Amino acid sequence: MKRLLCSFLVIVAILLLAPSMNARNYLDKRGKTWLDAHANAALINVDGNWYAREWGQIVLNQTKNSREVTGNGDGWDITGVVSGKQLFLLFSSRGGIVYSAILSGDDEKSLDGSYIKGLFKENTKGKSMHLIKK
């Protein structure tokens, strides 16, 4: 009887978790595609410690002459790319994308743009985001 109950609980857990895992994988693939679509050479370097009022401390890592960005902040894992003078970021938690952001700047001291829950789509208007380099 115990064995049957344990087997039943395992099956129920798998059935409940499988759809969310598939949705997460789908969003992660779309996130990679979204980042890959922004392929211009990097014209700014965002490496360093940043601060945003609504996000707190954000650390971004970008190797010189590289487009790829990684980092963390406020409990989020951050991945992104620099394309031209724009920064495209994905904020993830437990491996799933939660927010995306598009920021730009003419200097390497501040970045302005917006973020949304999920992935940016064409003509999406997000919430304002301002990063200041510390």
Domain ranges within the chain, ordered by starting residue = 3-133
Class of domain 3-133: mainly beta
Tell me the per-residue pLDDT of 73-103, one tens digit each, with 9 for 90 and over. 989 999 999 999 999 999 999 878 999 999 9
Q: pLDDT, tens digit, for every residue of 28-65?
A: 788 999 999 999 999 999 999 999 998 999 999 999 98
Model's pTM, two decimal places? 0.79
* 52 residue type, one letter: A
Query: In 3D, which of 76, 2, 79, 86 has the Cα closest to residue 41?
Result: 86
In angstroms, the Cα distances linking 128 to 37, 67, 90 are 23, 23, 16
